[in-house]
Amino acid sequence: MTQEPLTKKPDPGAFVKLVTANGLPEADLWKAVLESSGIEVYFRNEAVAAVIPETTGELSAVDLWVPREQAAAALEILQDERVEPTDEDEPS
């Protein structure tokens, strides 16, 4: 009789890369928004951004991965959360 492991690792084929954030703060915000909608999120490449928070460019990039079947809904949620500038914010 075989036992299942206590912690299951996510199946990498079941997840797709959704977006790349420009650092850990942005990635954490997007993750919180998606998880509040019931979408599971995993980070990838966050190690450098976590160790050296001032890092910019490609080194600070954090990939967000979501379940393949929820990717379309996740993109829609992130687009809905985007803040559009008001007339007062636009330069004259």
Closest CA to 81 of 29, 19, 16: 29
Note the pLDDT of residue 86: 47
Note the pLDDT of residue 89: 46
Give 22's pLDDT tier (boundaries 50, 70, 90). confident
The token pair at 65 is 């991965």
Q: So where are the chain's domains?
A: 16-78
- Domain 16-78: which CATH number of 3.90.650.10, 3.20.20.80, 3.30.70.1530, 3.20.20.70: 3.30.70.1530
Measure the CA–CA gap between 78 and 13, rounded to whole angstroms: 22
Q: List, for residues 28-66, the tens digit of each pLDDT value.
A: 999 999 999 999 999 887 655 555 555 555 567 889 999
Which residue did the predictor score with more confidence, 20 or 10? Answer: 20
Return the DSSP state at 31: H
Cβ atoms of residues 43 and 27 within 8 Å: yes
